[in-house]
Amino acid sequence: MDNPAIGVVGCAGRMGRMIAEMLRTRADCRLAGATERPGAEAVGQDLGTFLGGDALGLAIADDPGALFAAADVVVDFTAPVAAVWHAELAAQQGCALLIGTTGLQPDDLAKISTAAERTAILQAANTSLGVNLLLALVEQAAAKLPESYDIEVLEMHHRHKVDAPSGTALALGEAAARGRGIALEEQAAWARHGQTGARCIGDIGFAVLRGGDVAGDHSVIFAAEGERLELGHRASSRAVFVEGAVTAARWLAGKPAGLYSMRDVLGL
């Protein structure tokens, strides 16, 4: 679809604001509007001046219903409970939805999948193009290397992140599990403390670090006797997530109902 209208829910959040700022300056799409939660200071302000530019004549609303009716695609980097609600709104309005919100639980994902039967929804743990290529490489490595290679997923984020492990770390664990043909929930080692005993063969371990303003560091380590393979990605700026989200939103515009991923965007 040429020049799709893209809306943003949660425009005062870190990612929401950056995405709205990028959409305001792009020539290949247009900013349809934005919302914030009821009672937020941003509600009622002109979206353009809120973003530090000229007035756009678009007031930031607190009811996303009108935004979903006006936009071709809406981008959501909010919270799990809001993302599920927005998926249902998107299905009702026939508007495509990109969900970059992390911390989604299996029940949330099931509801989003149901909504995707009626509209196009792209759900991504991470919208960086590089991270999504990393996911494919991790799956390939896990499929090729024998079980004697222990798999560990390490991630670090800024001190304000509220969920752990990160959605990207979980996606990397899922990619490794797919490569081995196993279920992550049956082989994941989420934490180690005290006398844990020797590492179990076949486990996929997770380690979580928090501190400072780290945008996102992820590594997957394949460790065996005599060698170690490390695949990783470091984001020095959230701009890579913003660029990926806008690229994905433009790709999603006009797509038929269904549940999509960044692998579809990249043609992997």
Expressed in angstroms, the distance from the first to the final Cα of the chain is 21
Question: In a 10 Å sphere around its CB, with 0-12 CB exposed, 13-18 middle and 19+ buried, how is residue 148 labelled?
Answer: exposed
d(CA 236, CA 139): 24
Catalytic annotation present for 255: no
Three-class SS of residue 151? strand
Cis check for the bond before 80: say yes or no (omega within 30 of 0): no
Considering the candidates 111, 144, 160, 161, report the single residue annotated as catalytic. 161
> CA–CA distance from 188 to each of 64, 167, 172, 205 (Å)?
38, 14, 12, 6
Q: Which of 236, 212, 219 is nearest to 166 (CA)?
A: 219
**Torsion sign over Cα 96, 100, 103, 106:** positive
Of 86, 157, 218, 233, which is the active-site residue? Answer: 157
d(CA 124, CA 147): 28
Q: Are 71 and 95 in contact (CB under 8 A)?
A: yes
Q: Return the residue matching tokens 């997770």.
A: 206
User: Is there a catalytic annotation at residue 157?
Assistant: yes
Element (DSSP H or E) covering residue 5:
strand 5-9
Q: How many helices (H) and strands (E) does the chain have?
A: 10, 11
**Any idea which residues carry the catalytic annotation?**
157, 161
